[in-house]
Chains A and B, each alone.
Chain A
Amino acid sequence: MSRRIIYYAGKEYWEPETKKWLNANSVPKDNTLVAHGKTGAELWLGLNDLMVAAKTGLSLSLGSETIKTRIACWYPVLLGTTLGAVTNLADITKYTGSIVGGVTIDESGMQGNGTNGRMNTNCSMFLAKDHTSITATSTSLHVLSKTNNNALMCDIGVIDNGAGTQYDMAIYTRNGGNLITRLGSSGVNNSTTMADSLGFFSTSRRSSGQYKQLKGGSVVATITQAANTGNFNREFLTVGALNNDGSVIQFSSRKLVHPIYADGWTDAEVLAVYNAISTFETFLGR
C-alpha cells in the first residue's frame, strides 16, 4: 500500500476529514492503541489513504474539507466502538448517528438484531440539500454488506410522504433472490437478480429519467424511472432498516459498514470509491 503522508513545507499533513474523525475518536498517532490489529499510527495512514482515494475518485481537491460537498454522511464503522460507528467521516459536525434498539457493534462492523435495531443517521434530503450537491435528481446510496442471506431486510433507506409526493430511497441487498432498490420513485421496488448479499451495493441517480443499480462498482441494471422532483425527504435516512415515513420497519440483521448518502455518482466514481473502500477493508483485514 502506498503511504500518502503529504508534507507541506516539511510539515506532515493529513486530509482534514481524516484528522478530525480520528481525533474525535481519540485515536493516537502512535502505537498506544491497537484496533483491527493495527496501531493508531497505521490507522491514521490507512484512513488517510482511503480519504485521498475517495476524493481523487470524486474529483475533489485534496487538503481541505471537500468531501462534504458531495457526501452528506459516510460511516466507516471503525474501532468496534459506538462512537466509531456513529461518527460521520464526511463531516464530524453533522449527522452523528444514533444507535436505536438492539445493534451489535464490533471491529467487523455493526449488525442489527433484525427485530428493532438500526442506526438513525439524523440526516434527511431536506437537510443535506442545503450544503451538498444532493438533489432529487442527483442522489446515491451505498452500503457494504458482510452478511449473506436472502430476506426482506432493508439495509439503508427512507420513505417520505410528508411533502405530498412520496420520495423513496432504499437498498435491500438481497430479497427473493433480487437486489431491490428505490430511488426517487413512489413505492416502486426495482428488482434485479442477485446471487448473494455480500459486497458493496450502490444505487445512483444522475438524471430525472433513470437511475442505476451497482454492485462492487459494476452496473447491475439501469432502471428507467422518473424521479419525483421537487420533493425532499424530511424523514431521516436509516441504516439497517427502512424509515417508512416515521415508522421503522424491515429491520436488517446483516453486518454493515460504510453506509454512504451522497449526490449522484457516475459509474466511474462508484467504481473508484468502491476500490478505495475495498483497499481499506483489506488493510483492516475485515
Chain B
Amino acid sequence: MKKIALLTPQQFRLLNNFEYAPYKYFGPSVAPDGSHFISEEEINDYEGEEFAWIKDLPLIEYSTELPDTTVPEMTGYGVHVPDECFKPEINLFPNNQFELNGFVMTFTPYSGGMAVDLAYFQWEAFRQEQLKPMASPTKVTFTTLWDTLYQKYLNQEIIAL
C-alpha cells in the first residue's frame, strides 16, 4: 500500500512546483476527496532544510481503489434530525443530501420533520469513509452530528417513516 502525508492548503502552496533538487520538483497532489498530499517517496528523497518539517508529517495509507458506494436498502425506520440543520438560511444539506467521496446519504422527510433511515447506520463502508484521516474536515462537521444521531439510535429513539 502506498503511503502519503496530508498537507494543509497552505503547505500545498508552499511545496507546489518547488525545485527541491536539480530537475526534481515536489508534486503535491489532490486526492479524490479534495485533500492535499505529497508522497512518501518525495519526503524520503528531500535532503534540504527549508522544508524539513515534511519529515515530521504523519504517513497514512493511500489507495485509489473505489469503495462500494451502493446505498443500502431503506428500513422505513429512522431517527429525527435536529430541525436547525434544515433551516433555509443554513442550508447545511442541499437537496436534503450529504455527499462524501461518492457516498450519498439522503435524509427522509416525515411528519415531524427530517429523519435519517436506520439503514445508513448499518452502512459500514460509509462509516469507514468518514473515519479516514483524509476526511478529518468532515469529522468536525458532519461526523459530530452523525454520532449524535447514532446515539439516538442506540437509545431506541426510533420513529416510523
Give chain A's interface residues, CB within 8 Å of chain B: 82-83, 86, 96-104, 113-118, 248
- Contact between A103 and B41, CB atoms less than 8 A apart: yes
Q: Which residues of A contact B41 (CB under 8 A)?
A: 101-104, 113, 117
A171 to B29, CA, bound (A): 22
Chain B's nearest CB lies how many Å from the CB of A48? 25
- Contact between A113 and B22, CB atoms less than 8 A apart: no
- Contact between A114 and B22, CB atoms less than 8 A apart: no
The verdict on A99 contacting B25 (CB below 8 Å), with A115-B4, A115-B62 known, is yes
Q: Which residues of A contact B19 (CB under 8 A)?
A: 98
Q: Name which residue of chain A comes closest to B41, CB basis.
A: A102
- B23 contact from A97, A113, A118, Cβ within 8 A: A97
User: Can you list, as one digit per residue, whether each of B19-49 has a CB less than 8 Å from chain A (1) or not (0)?
Assistant: 1011111111100000001111110010000
Q: Which residues of A contact B37 (CB under 8 A)?
A: 116
- Contact between B22 and A117, CB atoms less than 8 A apart: no
- Contact between A98 and B2, CB atoms less than 8 A apart: no
- Contact between B2 and A100, CB atoms less than 8 A apart: no
A118 to B28, CA, bound (A): 12
A114 to B29, CA, bound (A): 12
What are the 5 closest A-B residue pairs judged by CB atoms, nearest first? A101-B27, A102-B41, A102-B39, A116-B29, A100-B27
- Contact between B23 and A83, CB atoms less than 8 A apart: yes
The verdict on A101 contacting B29 (CB below 8 Å), with A113-B2, A114-B2 known, is yes
A215 to B27, CA, bound (A): 31
Kindly name the residue among B4, B39, B62 whose own CB sees the greatest number of chain A CB atoms within 10 A: B39
Q: Name which residue of chain A comes closest to B25, CB basis.
A: A100
Chain A's nearest CB lies how many Å from the CB of B38? 7
A118 to B27, CA, bound (A): 9
- Contact between A101 and B2, CB atoms less than 8 A apart: no
- Contact between A99 and B24, CB atoms less than 8 A apart: yes
- Contact between A116 and B38, CB atoms less than 8 A apart: yes
Chain B's nearest CB lies how many Å from the CB of A26? 13
Q: Which residues of A contact B39 (CB under 8 A)?
A: 101-102, 113, 115-117
- Contact between A116 and B27, CB atoms less than 8 A apart: yes
A82 to B21, CA, bound (A): 9
Give chain B's interface residues, CB within 8 Å of chain A: 2, 4, 19, 21-29, 37-42, 45, 62, 64
Chain A's nearest CB lies how many Å from the CB of B33? 14
- Contact between B42 and A82, CB atoms less than 8 A apart: no
A86 to B40, CA, bound (A): 22
- Contact between A96 and B27, CB atoms less than 8 A apart: no
Q: Name which residue of chain B comes closest to A116, CB basis.
A: B29
Kindly name the residue among A96, A98, A102, A113 whose own CB sees the greatest number of chain B CB atoms within 10 A: A102
A98 to B39, CA, bound (A): 17
A45 to B40, CA, bound (A): 38
Q: Name which residue of chain A comes closest to B2, CB basis.
A: A115
The verdict on A83 contacting B22 (CB below 8 Å), with A102-B42, A115-B62, A116-B38 known, is yes
Q: Name which residue of chain B comes closest to A119, CB basis.
A: B23
A97 to B23, CA, bound (A): 7
Q: Which residues of B contact A118 (CB under 8 A)?
A: 27
Chain A's nearest CB lies how many Å from the CB of B26? 7
Chain A's nearest CB lies how many Å from the CB of B41? 3
A111 to B37, CA, bound (A): 19
**A100-B27, A248-B29 given; 11 more Cβ-contact pairs under 8 Å:** A82-B24, A100-B24, A101-B41, A102-B45, A115-B62, A116-B29, A116-B38, A116-B42, A117-B27, A117-B41, A118-B27
The verdict on A82 contacting B38 (CB below 8 Å), with A102-B27, A115-B2, A118-B27 known, is no
Q: Which residues of B contact A248 (CB under 8 A)?
A: 29
| 5 A-B pairs with C-beta separation under 8 A | A97-B23, A100-B26, A102-B27, A116-B28, A116-B38
Q: Name which residue of chain A comes closest to B44, CB basis.
A: A102
A82 to B20, CA, bound (A): 12
